[in-house]
Structure 1
């Protein structure tokens, strides 16, 4: 007679239980048996390749045995009850486990918490139930408040959404609803909180904070793995939560840790964004602008603020998708300057970033990164021009007249933009009797947007000059724009920490700076302390120093070569 554990096995349960010959309760995305053991739960409509009845199946059995043994200490942690339906489906390829350097092994409580994160990613959409009373403790409340009040304004100094439209409440809302978002946010809060308390030792941070970064990436990895089994469009809320977490963790990792994994994280976010749009398409041919608005509608509904029921506030997922899309479009464009390829989201620029038919752009980058859309769009256009020129040179078919024509069109747009910016009055604090204006934070970031856009636009002109004419730091035009930018950054930017939001233009100007200007550039970087939270600026200085030590007459040099000398993907955001 077969043992009870084998006789009761199911033919419809997860492949893990089938392999272990255990009865599966068929809950998804993680069954109760695998959840209790803190082991990987494999759900798929198709039979896995490793279920071959041979060597690969035996290897998987041994792997699961090791998981059961290794996770034995973690099973003492109380876990929430989970019941679920079908979840999302993506094809995002391999996802890294997180930063590979200076990462300790996870602590005893981490594996279970990161495992339960992915089973709860769709909580709030009707797919997963969790006892919320166990979600937020005292330390989490402190770190959440610290993140919203201090960390978010530091990482995104120009992002000040009006409280009349919900402000940054969407982050708190998604943290409560989504363990993936919560873990990504808390690890950032913990990192900066340790620094604020004087814990500035690298070793201490590695031991006490970086393990949470590892856990956050594990949560994202598991959340993506859990999105197998159904169409992604069936549950867009969960996909948006994951996309928002990836984008935020990407910016955190670039700002304070390393560039090592930014390419993989950016690729994952871009793939998820593309699938959200592709799968949102209807049979009717519609414009991308309308498609974006339709998808935003699916992330609703809007909320009413009682007792004035005429006040409508966007949903948490709507705000998260808007914020993440803005950053993703921006990141993609800056990455294209390193890769010498057109931005992967280039097809969306006209519909989402440009004014059409008298209507304002769907996405206003100035509200998120402080620079107006027109300048960032032109960076993308120059990247497209750079790719075209490189392809023509490789085939020996470069049309110089066409190159000059396309470059002149971009240059005229940028120079006209600079002229308008220089004649605009300096933006002051609004106070027209509106209480919301009176209560708005006055930290100097909002009034610096004109200056920020001016710096970005001059850097874009320098980028265009190098793409078209090559490396000519001694030319009068280059020296003029470099001098203007350094003067703005050194003497007019306030507070000086805002320079961390302009790393790309700062690096562009620095690479072309004259020897006498390099002292001022080094001084500006050294003044930014503590250095651990300005790693992007210091990486930019390393790029500059490398350029300064090269032969300045190297006619083949370009910005992509300068950036790639420090890695395949140097994302200066």
Structure 2
């Protein structure tokens, strides 16, 4: 039997929900994308009182959400998707306090005299209560106080690591001597915002897989989508909290924390790309670019340099590699270094592609030569995009320059027309 919550449709009213419900009645059940309560026993919420009223409101929200998804509209987020930019901008002001601190000059290579940041990546061996820590991440409560399911969260996380990440980035196969992809697990476990953004991606792909393989009343395919909406709400809360925390950090901790927030936002932006929500995608991209620039500015203030620091200088402020093999150019990056290299590559690529769509120069154009070329120095470490997306650096450089040239021509023609 299908226990359907009775919802009254008032004739002659202009209630948007009533109108949507009338249209929904003509849609086949498998296309309605709402939860099917199918069982042989009466559910506990069907009590004829408060519980049933709450379920009726939940069905209303689900109907609106499903209708919006079918029409391709933007789903409202529980919070503003763009992090508070006043906190982002305040990073630069905070780093000025530490610009006068005596810091040794960065030496070539990786024998660095910088002290390690106090933030350390979480390690299973260092923390016997590893699974307890995962439970704390998983049971973060939603806005309505509903606890999460730790076992289900861990399963979704392993789906992401085993299946979805290799599917999204098939060319990213870092060598064993560089640490492989272990940084993903370390970063996800050590950062709540990254944990929840990763769960967002994983639950979305699970919902897509269920939608393509399972039909009927027994399995409700909206379970993964409901979990996704929950994870989105928690993600925005975590990002907002992390942005507030970085203002009180010292310089080296600031670089590491900001890079982690940047990675979480890029992860969230990748989710928006997956679901086709390009409006929020642009907001996330702008916030991530702003954080990326502030990281370079923070290192520039510390080194007292007149120009932007190199990519190697920024990496050196995130700690030392786990090991260095002098006979080979490869080195085992720390989890924060590997994560920053990965998300910086994605950010540069997304910025270039977005510039071609928006008909404007890439916002990170001035960083391209520092990130994607060696500047004539064979010792300078390159950010090789081919290792991340399978596309060589010179191709993306040319696309970025073409986009900048086209934007310049457009602005010149517009200025000439105003004269």
Does the pair score TM above 0.5? yes
* 2:132 aligned residue: 134
* 2:259 aligned residue: 240
* 1:262 aligned residue: 281
- Cα separation, 2, equivalents of 1:255 and 1:159: 18
* 1:145 aligned residue: 158
TM superposition score normalised by structure 2: 0.59
* 2:182 aligned residue: 169
* 1:451 aligned residue: none
Superimposed CA distance per residue, residues 28-50 of structure 1 (whole angstroms, 9 cap, x where no aligned partner): xxxxxxxxxxxxxxxxxxxxxxx
1:169 deviation in Å? 0.6
Change (3 A) 1:219 1:234: closer
The alignment partner of 1:210 has SS state of helix
- Cα separation, 2, equivalents of 1:358 and 1:397: 44
Change (3 A) 1:356 1:143: same
Which one scores higher on RCO, CA 8 angstroms, separation ≥ 6? 2
Is 1:343 equivalent to 2:362 in the alignment? yes
* 1:390 aligned residue: 410
* 1:415 aligned residue: none
Change (3 A) 1:376 1:165: same
1:334 deviation in Å? 1.2
Is 1:378 equivalent to 2:398 in the alignment? yes
1:195 deviation in Å? 3.4
Change (3 A) 1:237 1:285: closer
**Structure 1: segments with no counterpart, 5+ residues:** 1-98, 107-121, 306-310, 399-573
Change (3 A) 1:105 1:204: farther
1:143 deviation in Å? 2.2
1:101 deviation in Å? 3.7
1:243 deviation in Å? 0.9
Q: How do residues 105-504 of structure 1 correspond to structure 2 at under 5 angstroms?
A: 124=120, 132-136=130-134, 137-197=150-210, 198=213, 203-230=222-249, 233-281=252-300, 282=302, 284-285=304-305, 288=308, 291-304=310-323, 313-357=332-376, 359=378, 362-396=382-416
1:361 deviation in Å? 6.1
CA contact (8 A) 1:102 1:206 kept: no
* 1:73 aligned residue: none
Change (3 A) 1:138 1:125: closer
- Cα separation, 2, equivalents of 1:134 and 1:285: 44
CA contact (8 A) 2:348 2:364 kept: yes
Q: How many residues are aligned here?
A: 278
Change (3 A) 1:131 1:219: farther
1:132 deviation in Å? 5.0
1:105 deviation in Å? 6.5
Superimposed CA distance per residue, residues 111-136 of structure 1 (whole angstroms, 9 cap, x where no aligned partner): xxxxxxxxxxx96479xx99755222
1:234 deviation in Å? 3.9
1:392 deviation in Å? 1.5
- Cα separation, 1, equivalents of 2:314 and 2:387: 21
CA contact (8 A) 1:125 1:237 kept: no
Q: How do residues 517-536 of structure 1 correspond to structure 2 at under 5 angstroms?
A: none
The alignment partner of 1:260 has SS state of helix
CA contact (8 A) 2:321 2:331 kept: yes
CA contact (8 A) 1:103 1:211 kept: no
- Cα separation, 1, equivalents of 2:284 and 2:128: 28
CA contact (8 A) 1:346 1:380 kept: yes
CA contact (8 A) 2:322 2:334 kept: yes
- Cα separation, 2, equivalents of 1:125 and 1:162: 20
TM superposition score normalised by structure 1: 0.44
- Cα separation, 2, equivalents of 1:143 and 1:202: 15
1:202 deviation in Å? 7.4
- Cα separation, 2, equivalents of 1:340 and 1:353: 22
The alignment partner of 1:228 has SS state of helix
1:163 deviation in Å? 2.3
* 1:49 aligned residue: none
Q: How do residues 63-78 of structure 1 correspond to structure 2 at under 5 angstroms?
A: none
